Structure 1
Amino acid sequence: MKELTIIFPHQLHFPHPALEIKRPVVLIEEALFFTQYHFHKQKLILHRASLRAFQEMLEKKGFSVSYIAATDPMHELSAYLKKLAKNGLKNLHFINPVDDWLQLKLSKNAKQLKFELTEYDSPGFLNTLREVEPFFEKRKTYFQTDFYCWQRKQRNWLLDQHGKPVGGKWTFDDQNRERYPTKNSPPALPTMKPNKQVKEAIEYVESNFPKNPGETKNFNYPVTHEQARDWWRDFLETRFKDFGIYEDAMTIQHTWLHHAVVSPLLNIGLLEPTLLIKDALEVGKSKKIPLNSLEGFIRQIAGWREFIRIVYEREGRKQRSTNYWKFTRKIPSSFWTGKTGIHPIDHLIETLKKNAYTHHIERLMVLGNFMLLCEFDPDDVYKWFMEWYIDSYDWVMVPNVYGMTQFADGGLMTTKPYISGSNYLLKMGDWDKKKTTQLENGEVVSWTEIWDGLFWRFMDKQRGFFLKNPRLGMLVKTLDKMNPDRKKRLFEVANAFLLQLDRTK
């Protein structure tokens, strides 16, 4: 076998640029996607079922397809490539993996084993690094809004005849922050009837990965291109209209709200961003979708998603080796069991167990926010998010954890850490502020008091950083004006909670 196309679990594109009918194909449950961490069971089900469905589709189209399961020692790429080289491999065809570890495995083995690599651009993104180089060259910091506006201008998206943004401004983010009305009930997600691949994948995961986090019984994600397109069309028809206004809302009553929930499908190639942008613009015009919904969705795909990938490719190695705050606290088991005693955190962990998914504000302003206030080691935070989320990949989580949520890179892509007290959560969600937890000393305290104590403690410990920024410095001044007894109480509660974390394995 002199030439071969290799397809990894996150590259199920069709058409696929590396496919050639006369060239054999291998699908591989590579270790980085199956065994590197204890990934959520539903993520493994998604990968297994979608890979098997993709295999069936390719074979029906006349391709010769081999499959390597995670139970096979050859699922570790280096071992498999050595076997291929021994059998005469001369050229390996593949899509750019947008994964630093995978790229290193490929290039290192190709050099050592003396075979060629033929790499193709990924259809999973709107841009190649070559295309954005003129914009990003010589930049030492990265700002999503700048890139997003440039992207819109380059592609003539949502511009008027004069090249100005439709609606008079580039972003309607300030119109994406409404609290979800108690009386409202969002449209349900489509129900995915388990096909034979899903049924087999559930058995496979339960048998081979029984100790991984998460439940399998609630699995309800598309695993074929056809299912994914139906899922996407359902969003356009039922949830797109109110996506914008409630984009940042949180509620314990509803998991999905008006979100598209397409990131798990985009990130493995069952959907592609070019299709989503095209459809969103067309439906936005024909169905008169509110501009804050249309622009908000375009910003998520063409702005944030592309931006995160580019930051990863350019700065990921640097980011993942940073720890600006020098935090070393380990995440205790309560963040896997959902027994932290902090109402919003425990609720979201229970949601993750069932669905392997929460939306972006819950990740950033609840989970990431609280983990930063707890001073967790950013490497631990990265691993936690990688294990719990169905749409987690290295390119997603390195910038989002080390940059966005933990500010471990010191401000490479944000000007300030995303932290808040409990007021923000209560403003944007229906969290029960009466919920309490018992500390080790027997005292019963509200979760809001712990959260606020951690917030002001963080502000006090890092006051040198915050005072450098005039707007953030106002918070330090607020702290200094706080009633001394109130301040003492908050710090005592915060320290008691952190001590409790340290004693929990």
Structure 2
Amino acid sequence: MSAPAPSTPVIVPILGDQLSPHISSLADRSPDDTVILMMEVTEETTYVRHHKAKIAMILSAMRHFAEELRGAGWTVDYVRLDDPANTGTFTGEVARAVERHGARGVQATEPGEWRVRQAMEHWRTDLPVRVRILPDTRFVCPLPDFYEWAAGRKELRMEWFYREMRRKTGLLMDGDKPAGGRWNFDAENRGGPEAGLKPPAPPRFTPDSITGEVLDLVSTRFARHFGSLENFGWPVTRTEAEAARDAFLADRLPRFGKYQDAMVAGQDFLFHAVLSPAINIGLLDPLDLCRRAETEWREGRAPLEAVEGFTRQIIGWREYVRGMYWLEMPALADANGLDAHRPLPDFYWTGDTPMRCLADCVRTTRDNAYAHHIQRLMVLGNFALLAGLRPQDVADWYLVVYADAFEWVELPNVAGMVLHADKGRLASKPYAASGAYIDRMGDYCGKCAFDVKRKTGEGACPFNALYWHFLARNEKKLAGYHRLAQPYATWRRMSDEKRAEYLLSAEAFLRTLDPAKPGWAR
């Protein structure tokens, strides 16, 4: 049973991605004079039409975290989505809580997303009490430190930032040198699919009564949203998240590195951690996770290249894109450096395409609210880049469909790494590839309706002609990139007839994506 609510308390709002007991907004608070406010609000579930499983995971995790907090002695004022008095917004619910509890102040941890930060700033002037907004201390690199690192640099490359994070944390360091004598073991982590791969499945968790109630709510209220709830098994408590963590470290980390870029049809998880949703909502501490992975290497249970690749994704890439998000916003949301304007094709929602790689990546996305990073980047993202899809449509799609997608991590990845819409601020080149890359790293092509070896014309893999069409139409913008010198040299050596053949083949395919015209993509 909860303790009586304190009189004239400080209200501490805890958002759905702040489910950490040591969140900064609680660090100097006591249960004696604090009311924690947790809010399920319509605005957050519908500003994009999130995957049903994503909504269910976050709401269930929030309800479980509220019980965890109550068990630790805190007073929690929890506003459910179906509460008739719910205003539907964070601002409205904070204002109601201030009045309801006769609060003397509000103390919050800064949110992860720009639009929520703008709303919080208005609390300072719109609420009749003092509002404190504290830094989110769950990241290795505070934002002021990132801004200082970025200041004056001509190129903001993740590799150099990652080395600074290694030095700062001491992860995989032997004194002042990187373990194994190298910072990066990427060359060892590019294994393609192999026959007979049987990775152990990550644990899936049976819904309890709280999760069951949320699943019923979501299936009714968000019936028209994308995605399935049939396979729902995400960890929604700290105990479940830690069990998922331990299973990854023991069962899949040793081979994670070698196969982290591989794609196998129907194998939705391979050796990936599948922990990013739990990390991003606060159920797991990312630095603790990296230290546990390092222990697996130091005690001989996992190879260095696997642990280095995993560590780089968390203290390197994750921290880097968070810094880039706040450095570049709000302009990043409207970036379109390659002047791409084609609408998102329907098959990103339906999976109805004979391109087997795309169909399988949409299927796992729909079924699991998950696809691993190469499926996201080099199949779904690569197609969007080559076809010239509008960045805002693509970013909204990624934000909708993945359980780990919050704008601070999703938008820099999509606008910067996937679509090069930021003109190279984040990545040193566009991640464009023909069908040969997908064939090398995946097993999709052998049973595809299209022939990956065929370059143009009927039956040819569309990625092949689209690749050269992309380079040709963006030559003025991209020809000066050092990492694209070789493909542009190859393009210029082609005969006029060969170049025309590629362009005509790509344009014929692109016409099938026009929503005003019939075609298999519809």
Aligned to 1:64: 75
Which of 394, 404, 422 is the equivalent residue of 2:417?
A: 404
Aligned to 1:315: 328
1:213 matched residue in structure 2:
226
Letter in 2 for 1:147: F
Local SS of the residue matching 1:190: coil
Structure 1 residues 390 and 445: CA distance shift in structure 2, 3 A: farther
Greater displacement, 80-89 / 295-304:
80-89
Equivalences for residues 425-444 of structure 1 within 5 A: 425-436=438-449
Counterpart in the other structure of 1:111 = 125
Q: Indicate if the aligned counterparts of 1:68 and 1:74 stay in contact, CA closer than 8 A.
A: no
Whether contact under 8 Å (2:45, 2:55) holds in the other structure is yes
Secondary structure of 1:418 counterpart = coil
Partner of 1:452: 464
**In the alignment, does 2:494 pair up with 1:482?**
yes
Alignment of 1:375 onto 2:388: yes
Equivalent of 1:38, from 49, 63, 68? 49
Quickly say closer, same or farther: Cα 1:232–1:472, change in 2 above 3 A. same
Are 1:13 and 2:27 an aligned pair?
no
| Letter matched to residue 185 of structure 1 | K
**How big is each residue's C-alpha offset from its partner over 1:278-336, in whole Å with a ceiling of 9 and x where there is no partner?**
21122221134211001111111110011111111221322222211121211132221
**Secondary structure at 2:12 match in 1:** strand
State the alpha-carbon separation in 2 of the partners of residues 364 and 495 from structure 1. 23
CA distance in structure 2 between the partners assigned to 1:296 and 1:186 by the alignment: 18
Q: Which amino acid aligns with 1:18?
A: S
* Structure 1 stretch displaced more, 170-179 or 285-294: 285-294
**2:412 partner SS:** helix
User: How far is 1:376 from its partner?
Assistant: 0.9
**CA drift at 1:51:** 0.9
Name the aligned partner's letter for residue 489 of structure 2.
K
SS for the counterpart of 1:66 is strand
Shift of 1:436: 2.3
Instruction: Give the partner amino acid of 1:212.
Output: H
Matches within 5 A, 1:486-501: 486-501=498-513
Selected match of 1:156 from 154, 166, 170: 170
Equivalent in the alignment of 2:88: 75
Tell me which moved more, 89-98 or 204-213: 89-98
- For residues 256 and 136 of structure 2, what CA distance do their matches in structure 1 show? 28
Q: How does 1:42-57 map to 2 (within 5 A)?
A: 42-57=53-68
Residue by residue over 1:345-382, the C-alpha shift from the partner in whole angstroms, topping out at 9 and shown as x without a partner, is 11110111110101111111111111011111111111
How high is the TM-score relative to the length of structure 2?
A: 0.91
Give the superposition deviation at 1:146. Answer: 0.4
User: Mean Cα displacement is larger for which, 326-335 or 372-381?
Assistant: 326-335
Match of 1:473 among 464, 482, 485: 485
Tell me the equivalent position of 2:178: 165
Could you list the per-position Cα deviations for residues 160-210 of structure 1 after superposition, in whole angstroms to 9, with x for gaps in the alignment?
A: 24x121112110011110112111211111131221122111101001100
Report 1:89-488 matches (<5 A).
89-161=103-175, 163-436=176-449, 445-446=458-459, 449-482=461-494, 484-488=496-500
Structure 1 Cα separation of the partners of residues 153 and 327 of structure 2: 11
Q: Secondary structure at the match of 1:243?
A: helix
Change (3 A) 1:471 1:144: closer
CA distance in 1 between partners of 2:381 and 2:411 (Å) = 13
Distance, in Å, in 2 between the alignment partners of 1:408 and 1:376 is: 11
Counterpart residue identity of residue 214, structure 2? A
Structure 2: how far apart are the matches of 1:295 and 1:437? 37
Gaps of 5+ in 1: none
Aligned residues of 1:466 and 1:476 also touching (Cα < 8 A): no
C-alpha distance 470-392 of structure 1, shift in aligned 2 (>3 A): closer
- Change in Cα spacing, 1:31 to 1:104, as seen in structure 2 (3 Å) is farther
**Cα RMSD after superposing both structures:** 2.1
For 1:159 and 1:199, locate their aligned partners in 2 and report how far apart those are by CA, in whole Å.
45
The change in CA–CA distance for 1:86 and 1:113 in structure 2 (over 3 A counts) is: same
Which amino acid is 1:358 matched to? A
Asked whether the 8 Å contact 1:49–1:223 carries over to 2, the reply is yes
Query: Cα offset for 1:31?
Result: 4.4
* Uncovered stretches (5+) of structure 2, i.e. residues with no partner: 1-7, 517-521
Q: Distance in 2 between matches of 1:84 and 1:193?
A: 34
Aligned-partner Cα distance in 2 for 1:141–1:132 = 14
SS in 1 for 2:193: coil
Structure 1 residue 68: Cα displacement? 2.0
TM-score by length of 1: 0.94
Matched residue, 2:515: 503
User: Shift of the alpha carbon at 1:58?
Assistant: 1.9
Residues 408-453 of structure 1: CA deviation (Å, up to 9, x unaligned)? 1101111211111110110111112452279xxxx9943x531111
**Compared with structure 1, are the counterparts of its residues 407 and 444 closer, same or farther at alpha carbon in structure 2 (3 Å cutoff)?**
closer
* Contact 1:365-1:420 at 8 Å conserved across structures: yes
Q: Which amino acid aligns with 1:500?
A: T
Query: Is the Cα–Cα contact under 8 Å of residues 68 and 75 in structure 1 kept in the other structure?
Result: no
CA distance in 2 between partners of 1:265 and 1:445 (Å): 45
Q: Which amino acid is 2:361 matched to?
A: L
Identity %: 30
Shift of 1:479: 2.2
Whole-angstrom distance in 2 between the partners of 1:171 and 1:364: 20
Contact 1:436–1:444 (8 Å) recurs in 2: no
Contact 1:437–1:444 (CA<8 Å) still a contact in 2? no
CA distance in 1, matches of 2:282, 2:447: 44
Partners in 1 of 2:37 and 2:482 — Cα distance? Answer: 56
Which stretch of structure 1 is more off in the superposition, 32-41 or 232-241?
A: 32-41
One-letter amino acid matched to 2:415: Y
SS in structure 2 of the partner of residue 75 of structure 1:
coil
